[in-house]
């Protein structure tokens, strides 16, 4: 399994991915699912992948070959993220069909899906979800995040915190906590964790980091979230009518303060 999340807010975009792949529970490996493409000045792309690893690797390899060939194909010539997504979707469907035809076994699933982000001079930045069928959708101001892979455990926090106005550092923090919740609940999602932050309009390479399981920031974030969540939970009001049944519960507290 995989968990990748991308958030596009007014201030820029954030990408976070895990690195665990598995073919059965006793065949677990580490592969990066974050792919960055250097497509010349003013053109940067980042892609996150989920699903069949062979399909994802073939798609990435073909994208890189097309960039190296300096031809009119692919990321070098796309005038928008949508054009790039259409190209990637076509490669993905081709790779899936190639192996689907070669394999009659119904338990073989060549499907892969992608999140594409980045910036092309003059075109709107953003993040797009490319489905296994090759079609795609763009995140919107009303729905500023996209997820692929094991999406459910990490979604409730994104749902409550992320809006178009969320600052970039808060968006990163939220994506990392969302990742941590998923790591805790699905053993097939695992470290190292990679993240990339791309501020809007700066055309910098952004901030990229790879965090191992014992990364100081990741450990501190995990501990702080665990503590803070417990405090936030303890301060919730209790249900009415229980006191008569189980005795008085702790004093009701509904206000938290930061010291």
Using CA atoms, how far residue 137 sits from 78, 82, 87, 145, in Å, is 17, 9, 14, 11
Nearer to a copy of itself, 11 or 60 (CB): 11
Does the protein bind a copy of itself through residue 213 (CB under 8 A)?
Answer: no
Stretch that binds a copy of itself, among 28-36, 58-66, 81-89, 250-258 (CB under 8 A): 250-258
Q: How many CB atoms lie within 10 A of CB 238?
A: 13
Does the protein bind a copy of itself through residue 249 (CB under 8 A)?
Answer: yes
Considering only 149, 153, 193, 196, the residue that binds a copy of itself (CB under 8 A) is 153
- Which residues fall within 8 angstroms of residue 109, CB to CB, at 6 or more apart? 51, 52
- The nearest distance, CB 205 to a copy of itself, in angstroms, is 10
Instruction: Locate the DSSP E strands across 40-95.
Output: 43-51
Does the protein bind a copy of itself through residue 254 (CB under 8 A)?
Answer: yes
Considering only 40, 42, 71, 238, the residue that binds a copy of itself (CB under 8 A) is 238
Q: How many CB atoms lie within 10 A of CB 22?
A: 16
Considering only 63, 120, 132, 177, the residue that binds a copy of itself (CB under 8 A) is 177
Considering only 123, 188, 199, 203, the residue that binds a copy of itself (CB under 8 A) is 199
DSSP 191-225: SPEEEEEEETT-----EEEEE-TT-HHHHHHHHHH
Closest CA to 57 of 117, 99, 16: 99
> What is the DSSP code (8-state) at residue 168?
H
Nearer to a copy of itself, 62 or 129 (CB): 129
Does the protein bind a copy of itself through residue 234 (CB under 8 A)?
Answer: yes
How many amino acids of this chain bind a copy of itself (CB under 8 A)?
Answer: 62
């Amino acid at each position: 399994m995989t968990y990748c999340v991308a958030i596009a807010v007014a201030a820029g975009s954030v990408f976070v991915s895990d690195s665990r792949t598995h073919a059965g529970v006793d065949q677990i490996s580490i592969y990066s699912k974050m792919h960055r493409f250097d497509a010349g000045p003013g053109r940067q792309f980042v892609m996150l992948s989920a699903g069949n690893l062979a399909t994802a690797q073939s798609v990435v390899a073909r994208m890189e070959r097309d960039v190296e060939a300096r031809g009119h194909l692919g990321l070098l010539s796309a005038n928008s993220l949508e054009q790039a997504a259409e190209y990637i979707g076509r490669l993905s469907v081709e790779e899936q069909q190639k192996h689907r035809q070669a394999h009659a076994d119904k338990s073989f699933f060549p499907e892969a899906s992608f999140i594409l982000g980045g910036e092309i001079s003059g075109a709107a930045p953003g993040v797009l979800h490319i489905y296994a069928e090759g079609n795609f959708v763009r995140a919107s101001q009303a729905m500023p995040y996209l997820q692929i892979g094991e999406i459910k455990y990490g979604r409730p926090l994104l749902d409550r915190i992320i809006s178009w106005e969320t600052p970039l550092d808060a968006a990163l923090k939220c994506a990392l906590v969302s990742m941590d919740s998923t790591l805790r609940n699905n053993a097939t999602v695992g470290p190292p964790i990679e993240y990339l932050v791309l501020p809007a309009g700066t055309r910098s390479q952004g901030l990229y980091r790879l965090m191992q399981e014992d990364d100081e920031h990741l450990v501190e974030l995990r501990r702080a979230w665990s503590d803070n969540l417990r405090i936030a939970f303890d301060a919730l009001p209790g249900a009415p009518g229980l006191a008569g049944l189980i005795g008085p519960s702790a004093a009701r507290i509904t206000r938290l303060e930061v010291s």
